Amino acid sequence: MKLKCNTYLDKGFMPMSVYVRDFLAGLGDNAQDIVIGIQRNKGFMSTYATKIYADGTGHDRENAAYVERLVKTLLWARGGYRVIIAGSKPMADYIAEAYSQGGLRDFDRNFMSGVYERPFEVDYAELSDAPVDAEAAAPVGRHLNGCRIGFDAGGSDRKVSAVIDGEAVYSEEVVWFPKLNADPQYQYDGIMDSMRRAAEHMPRVDGIGVSSAGVYIDNKIMVASLFLKVAPDDFEKRVKNMYIDIAKEFGPDVPLEVANDGDVTALAGAMDLEDDQVLGIAMGTSEAAGYVDSQGNITGWLNEFAFIPVDFNPESMVDEWSGDYGCGVKYFSQDAVIKLAPLAGIQLDEELSPAEKLKVVQGLMAEGDNRAEQIYRTIGVYFGYAIAYYAMFYGIKHVLIMGRVTSGNGGVLILEEADKVLKTEFPELNGIQLHIPDESSRRVGQSVAAASLPEIK
């Protein structure tokens, strides 16, 4: 696969958006229809219709590679415990094998099964019985009245804001290391300390909103990377209800709303832009994403972009957690900066934490170092092609980026290069507008938006 745009430091990059385009263009008359269905809680169903080479024509390997990446994408974009492949029995059998216990996608299978607390299934259906969409969306956030705490739990730092009638009267960032601590008391104490500091700047606490990486159902922590080292028993007993328990410390009836940090990024963008169809991307310890649909609502989709493949190159870096290659976490997070640093000729001290390594590169960027600039331009190229891939699954009018990686001029370069890619390679997507907030909003904007989550009655 040859690219028309300069990829700067990563010469092996094979964008999913280009791969899909080339695959479909190569089918010619030798094509058949399939529909992929992803079922999640409450019977909700998301479907995706596409084409593959006709079964029995000697293209099973190409079909399998294509369908496997699509299923992976749809699972992490939408979320679900059941996959239905309609129209191709060979592809249904292949996906069933890949998602079997101990199979190629064992991590994905177990993750989804744990989130939805259901056994994972892969089924085949005739095309005439293909699943149909059954979706739901709900309004969330945009509540500005009263005295609110907004908390954003990042993997390298935690941010908190005290917000009174929509105005932030206090904001603070504190470096911490939740991923390195097995005792959840560390995370509990850190969260409580930040919230108490915010509460000191208000006459009372009317509501608490939390933005955090992970999956949350009814304010319960189902999965969260902040607690990677915590044993399963401790997670169940001391972590799952942590935000609920902390909120009770500020009053038995203080409303609480916990949301994925990507959804809060999208919400912040929708509030600022006063528009809808906003895709928010937070580039920090990991890649988080959220989406506000055409009605201005949150969809209930999983939106875990960290695990969505953006690079089709099987030789690309493997994510340590999922064991899969080419996933967004290695392209749109501090891991991306660290990965690209040696290719740019920057040697980072291995004794430094990931957050400290990022700060070194950001310091070089602030000094005008061309090597650091090449890192951010490379991430920008990644991002342009990734936006085109995301647009296959989301209706997008605006893309907003936030998070520690976007601080300083690096974030500006990321969007500059992404815009070049879209204009050069995907002119049909030129209507998508790319945005980056001011520096203060980039760093603490999520905690302020999080404060608007709970409704005060």
CATH of the domain at 226: 3.30.420.40
Torsion 237-239-243-249 (CA) sign: positive
Do strands 45-53 and 167-175 pair parallel, antiparallel, or not at all (unpaired)? unpaired
In a domain, 5, yes or no: no
Residue 4 has pLDDT above 50, yes or no: no
Percent of the chain with pLDDT over 90: 76
Given a contact cutoff of 8 angstroms between Cβ atoms, the answer to whether 388 and 17 are in contact is yes
Q: Which of 191, 91, 179, 205 is nearest to 151 (CA)?
A: 191
Asked whether residue 365 falls in the same domain as residue 414, the answer is yes
- Range name among 294-298, 323-327, 395-399 with the lowest pLDDT average: 294-298
**pLDDT value of position 344:** 96
Residue 429 has what pLDDT? 96
> Within a domain: residue 155?
yes
pTM of the predicted structure, to 2 decimals = 0.85
Residues 6 or more apart whose CB falls under 8 angstroms from that of 387 comprise 279, 396, 399, 418, 421, 422, 429, 432, 434
Q: What is the mean pLDDT of residues 255-269?
A: 85
- 300 pLDDT more than 90: no
The top-scoring range by mean pLDDT among 128-137, 330-339, 398-407 is 330-339
Residue at a domain's end among 129, 157, 186: 129
Instruction: Quote the CA–CA distance of 22 and 32 in Å, as a whole number.
Output: 16
| Mean pLDDT of all residues in 55-70 | 97
For residue 137, is pLDDT > 60?
yes
Residue predicted with more confidence, 135 or 189: 189
Q: Would strands 287-292 and 45-53 be described as parallel, antiparallel, or unpaired?
A: unpaired
Higher pLDDT, 300 or 108: 108
Task: Round to whole Å and give the CA distance between 236 and 222.
Answer: 9
Q: What is the pLDDT of residues 222-232, one digit of tens each?
A: 888 899 899 99
Q: Which of 105, 129, 153 is the last residue of a domain?
A: 129
- Structural domain contains residue 9: no
Residues 216 and 303 in one domain: yes
- Please say if the pLDDT value at position 441 is more than 70: no
Q: Which of 79, 110, 129 is the last residue of a domain?
A: 129
Q: Give residue-wise pLDDT tens across range 170-185.
A: 999 999 999 899 999 9
Q: Are residues 172 and 120 in the same domain?
A: no
Is residue 191 domain-shared with residue 216, that is, in the same domain? yes
107 and 167 both lie in a single domain: no
138 has pLDDT over 80:
no
Q: What is the pLDDT of residue 31?
A: 97
| Residues 249 and 166 occupy one common structural domain | yes
In a domain, 4, yes or no: no
- With cut-offs at 50, 70 and 90, classify the pLDDT of residue 71: very high
Read off the pLDDT of residues 147-161 as tens digits, 9 standing for 90 and up: 999 999 988 889 999
Asked whether residue 65 falls in the same domain as residue 194, the answer is: no
Q: Which amino acid is at 355?
A: A
Residues 311, 355, single domain; the answer is yes
In a domain, 6, yes or no: no
Instruction: State residue 6's pLDDT score.
Output: 62
Q: Number of structural domains, the chain?
A: 2
pLDDT band at 66 (very low <50, low <70, confident <90, very high): very high
49 and 193 in a common domain: no
**Segments forming the whole domain that contains residue 315:** 137-457
341, 350 Cβ separation under 8 angstroms: no
Q: pLDDT-derived band of residue 448, with 50, 70 and 90 as boundaries?
A: confident
With a cut of 60, say whether residue 286 has pLDDT above it. yes
Which of these, 334, 304, 108, 305, lies nearest to 214 by C-alpha position? 304
Q: Verify that 327 and 446 share a domain, yes or no.
A: yes
Chain segment 310-340, per-residue pLDDT in tens:
999 999 999 988 999 999 999 999 999 999 9
439 confidence band (pLDDT: 50, 70, 90): low
Q: Report how far residue 327's alpha carbon sits from residue 306's, in angstroms, rounded to the nearest whole number.
A: 6
DSSP state string for 141-180: -----SEEEEEEE-SSEEEEEEEETTEEEEEEEEE--GGG
Please give the pLDDT value at position 199: 97
The runs of H, that is alpha helices, within 274-406 are 334-340, 354-366, 370-390
pLDDT 10s digits, 36-48: 999 998 899 999 9
Residue 314: per-residue pLDDT: 93
Question: What pLDDT score does 75 carry?
Answer: 98
Does the pLDDT value for residue 166 go beyond 60?
yes
Instruction: For residue 142, give both structure tokens.
Output: 């945009």
Residue 379 is assigned to a structural domain of this protein: yes
Residue 290 in any domain: the answer is yes
Question: What's the sign of the alpha-carbon dihedral 358, 177, 181, 117?
Answer: negative
- Classify residue 7: in a domain, yes or no: no
What is each CA distance from 209 to 78, 102, 148, 245, 255, in whole angstroms? 23, 38, 8, 14, 8
